[in-house]
Amino acid sequence: MKIDLLTKEYPPFVYGGAGVHITFLARELARLEQRAHDVRVWCFGNQDERMENLHIKGLEPQLPDKAAAYHHPVLADTLTRNVALADAVESTDLVHCHTWYTHLAGCLLKQFHQVPLVLTTHSLEPHRPWKQEQLGTGYFASKWVEKTAYENADGVIAVSEAMKADVQALYGVEPQKIEVIPNGIDIDLYKPVADPDRVRRCGIDPDKPFILLVTRITRQKGILHFIEAATHLRADCQVVLCASAPDTREYMEEVTEAVDRLKMQSANPVIWIRDTVPVEDIIALYSHAAVFVCPSVYEPFGIILLEAMACGTPVVASAVGGIPDVISPGETGHLVAFEPMGNGNAEPKNPEQFARDLAGQVDALLGSADQLSRMGELSRQRVADHFTWSKVAGKTFEFYNRLIKKS
């Protein structure tokens, strides 16, 4: 089988969960059935790698002259790459797209080669209104591209039950076209390690408990709610933010001001690591953290949760999107009730209460060393039982086969 995976992100240009997903999915698909399949990843960038039956190819077509004058430069760049990508694929048996950034190319390839088109729902544009801060009115075009792709898709992979419900509600996708297949984790890479010196080099005292947030600086991840929750903590602990890659300069300023206020108000040390943290360092931070906190206001799944849990760390997270599919409440962590404002606004209806509830659950865990240890062990076991990439790839390939046979 010739399988073509289309993505904006692929190493070394990865900034979110979709990039992590396709990196490991492609590797595991290529390993299936004695490497009998040709797996090709088409991405945005200059990558050109071949590893037996796995080929990675980045595309960097140039916009016409005076590109700086474009009113929607991100959209123009995306559409230019999509046209080039669709032209580059000479033959295929199935096309699998990840995020709206490659959906136009997927729709074109479906028509060019008369093959099944598969989409994975890493997120949905109508539920991310803050993207307009980045794309301007191009955001409405991105929603249209996404809607068109879902209307033309032969199969949809939802990373959680919540995402299955969302694609049905937003785009009217028939239930029989949707397969729920979660994200995964490399449990050989993400595992508990004892490396206090590495933690210390990050400016953190490894001998004192700390709570940890790892995130991009985007409204989706609820960073400001984490900071507000930290002001209500009763526990004696360190507050650590690994937060980088801001969506906009304006939001970076908001977060900076909030962290500065927290440092003045809190008796607990506040450590903000602003640079992207290498994998070896982040694994050490997960492993040494007492609690990982995920206060997202929108989270289709949350690979970051699997990373922390695989390293033996319990999680306190907002009960939104796919997060309840990952956390087993009372066993691997705690879920915090979350009621959104509604009418397209994903922020909590009562942000003050949400922050206090987050802090309360963190305090409860930090007050019981035995519970932390037990939850850490159960977290690692849950990930190993349900969320490995080999399981994800196997289920994905079975879905491909059903679609090809049907077509």
Q: Max CA-CA distance within the chain?
A: 63
The yes/no answer on whether domain 196-386 falls in CATH 3.65.10.10 is no
The domain segmentation of the chain, as residue ranges, is: 2-184+388-406, 196-386
- Residue pLDDT, tens place only, 40-81: 999 999 999 999 899 999 999 877 666 567 788 889 899 999
Instruction: Collapse the DSSP code of 206 into the 3-class scheme (helix H, G, I; strand E, B; otherwise coil) and give the result.
Output: coil
Distance CA 292, CA 65 (A): 47
CA distances from 23 to 17, 37, 176, 281, 365 (A): 10, 16, 27, 20, 34
- Residue pLDDT, tens place only, 382-394: 999 999 999 999 9
Within 52-185, strands assigned E span 54-59, 94-98, 117-121, 155-158, 178-180
- Which pTM was predicted? 0.87
CA R_g for the chain: 21
- Residue pLDDT, tens place only, 195-250: 999 999 999 999 999 999 999 999 999 999 999 999 999 889 999 999 998 989 99
Q: Is the peptide bond before 329 cis (omega within 30 degrees of 0)?
A: no
Distance CA 83, CA 106 (A): 10
What count of other Cβ atoms lies within 10 Å of the Cβ of residue 166?
Answer: 21
- Buried b / exposed e over 239-276, threshold 16 CB at 10 Å, is bbbbbbebbeeebbeebeebbeebeeeeebbbbbbbee
- In what side-by-side order are the strands of the sheet with 117-121? 48-51, 54-59, 38-44, 2-7, 94-98, 117-121, 155-158, 178-180
Per-residue pLDDT of the chain (407 residues; tens, 9 = 90+): 999 999 999 999 988 889 999 999 999 999 987 778 999 999 999 999 999 899 999 999 877 666 567 788 889 899 999 999 999 999 999 999 999 999 999 999 999 999 999 999 999 999 888 888 888 899 999 999 999 999 999 999 999 999 999 999 999 999 999 999 999 999 999 999 999 999 999 999 999 999 999 999 999 999 999 999 999 998 899 999 999 989 899 999 999 999 999 999 999 999 999 998 999 999 999 999 999 999 999 999 999 999 999 999 999 999 999 999 999 999 999 999 989 888 778 899 999 999 999 999 999 999 999 999 999 999 999 999 999 999 999 999 999 999 999 98
Q: Looking at the DSSP assignment, which residues form a beta bridge with residue 281?
A: none
CA 61 to chain CA centroid, Å, is: 27
Element (DSSP H or E) covering residue 211 = strand 210-216
CA distances from 136 to 119, 120, 132, 248, 396 (A): 25, 25, 5, 12, 35
The yes/no answer on whether domain 2-184+388-406 falls in CATH 3.40.50.2000 is yes
Distance CA 323, CA 346 (A): 15
Tell me the residue length of the chain: 407
